[in-house]
Copies of this chain bind each other. A is one copy, B any other.
C-alpha cells in the first residue's frame, strides 16, 4: 500500500452564496487546490456531497465537476455518507492512489444549502437519520441530538453551561479564519441566552449550515520528495467504522462506538496514541458531539469530555486543541463539504499557516468526520515531515 501525500489545498468562504452556482462553489475550491499543488490535471475526481439531489436537483456530482473543470475523460465519482461524505470521498481517493490505479486525485467536498430553507432543509438533513425508525416517527435531526445531550446531562450530572467552552473556543478561533461563516466572539452569557432549537440544544450548541466547498489534491508520497519551504504532509492513516443509524438500536447511546473503532484503527495504523495528536479537528455539529468524540477517541474518560473545555485544554495552546479554525460551530457546516474542510485545516496547521490559532510545533493532526448521529465515523491522521 503506497503512502499518500496531500499536495494542494483549497477552500471557499462558507456563506449564503446566492450569487454562485453549485458548480462555481465547488469549482472555486477545486481550482484553488490545483493551483496550490501546481497541477493543471489530475487522474480522478472524488466528490463528497450529501444534499445536491434534494436541494439542487443534481446527481452524478463527480462528473458534474470533472465536466466543469474541463477534465473530460477523467474518472469521477460521488461518495456519500451523510455528513461524513467529505472524509468518505477522501478515503475513496486514498484507496485508488494507494492501490496504484491512479497517480493523482482531486477530492472536493461541496454543498449548496441556502437556496432552500426551513422545512426543506430540516427534511433534507433528516435523511441522515433512519427514515423508517426515526424520522417517520416525527423527530428531526436536531431532536435526535437533543435527546442524546439531555441523557448525557442526566447521566453524568452536567449543566447546559458546562458545554459553553466548546462553542466559545470555536467562535474565538473562527475570528482568525477568513473562510469561516461566523466572525463573532461569544461568552457564557450569550451561550446561555441564545434561542432554543430543541431543548437542551440552543443556537449556540448547533453548527450553522452554509454554502461552501473545500478541496485537496493527493499524490503518492514518493513523488513529493521535497516541497520548497513547506513541510510535506502525508496521510499516515485512514479508517472508517459504523454503528446502527437509529440511536435506539445502539448498545449505548452515549458512546460513539464508531468513533472508538475508527480512531483505534487509525492510531494503530499510524503507530500513535491520543497523546501524540497535536491538533484534533473534531465534528462539533452539536456541542454534545464534541464531548462524545473526545471520550470515544481516548482524550477523556466516559462522561468527562466537557471537562476538557472547562479546564481550558481545548484552545490552540491547550493539551487537546480542537476546532482551531472555528470547527463546524463557527467555520460552518456545509454538510458534505465539512470532512474536506477539516482535512484542509489540519494541513494548514501542519504547514504552520494558522497565524493566531497556530498550534505551536504541530506535527501530527487528526480529523474526524461524523455521518448521522454517530452512524458513520471516519478518522484520518496526517503527519508533517
A residues adjacent to B (C-beta < 8 A): 1, 21, 23, 44, 50-51, 53-54, 56-64, 66-67, 71-82, 88, 91-92, 95-96, 98-101, 123-124, 126-128, 130-132, 135, 238-246, 249, 257-258, 261, 371-372, 375-376
Asked whether B59 lies within 8 Å of A79 as measured between CB atoms, the reply is no
When the two chains form the complex, which single residue of B60, B123, B244, B375 contacts A372, counting CB atoms closer than 8 Å? B60
Minimal Cβ-Cβ distance residue in B for A80: B78
Given contacts A23-B132, A53-B124, 8 further A-B contacts (CB under 8 A): A51-B53, A57-B123, A63-B375, A64-B130, A74-B241, A75-B240, A77-B92, A99-B99
When the two chains form the complex, which single residue of B44, B67, B95, B258 contacts A244, counting CB atoms closer than 8 Å? B67
Asked whether A242 lies within 8 Å of B74 as measured between CB atoms, the reply is yes
Please list 27 pairs of residues, one from A and one from B, whose beta carbons are closer than 8 Å in the complex, sorted by A's number.
Answer: A1-B100, A1-B101, A21-B132, A51-B53, A58-B127, A59-B127, A60-B80, A60-B81, A60-B127, A60-B376, A63-B242, A63-B243, A71-B242, A72-B257, A73-B258, A75-B239, A75-B241, A77-B81, A77-B91, A78-B79, A78-B80, A79-B80, A92-B95, A95-B99, A98-B101, A99-B99, A101-B238
CB distance from A187 to the nearest CB of B (A): 36
Query: With A99-B95, A242-B62, A242-B72 in contact, do A127 and B67 touch (Cβ < 8 Å)?
Result: no
Asked whether A59 lies within 8 Å of B73 as measured between CB atoms, the reply is no
Asked whether A76 lies within 8 Å of B376 as measured between CB atoms, the reply is yes
Asked whether B95 lies within 8 Å of A59 as measured between CB atoms, the reply is no
Q: Give the CA-CA distance A96 to B62 in the complex, in Å.
A: 19
Q: Give the CA-CA distance A82 to B64 in the complex, in Å.
A: 11
Q: Give the CA-CA distance A380 to B23 in the complex, in Å.
A: 30
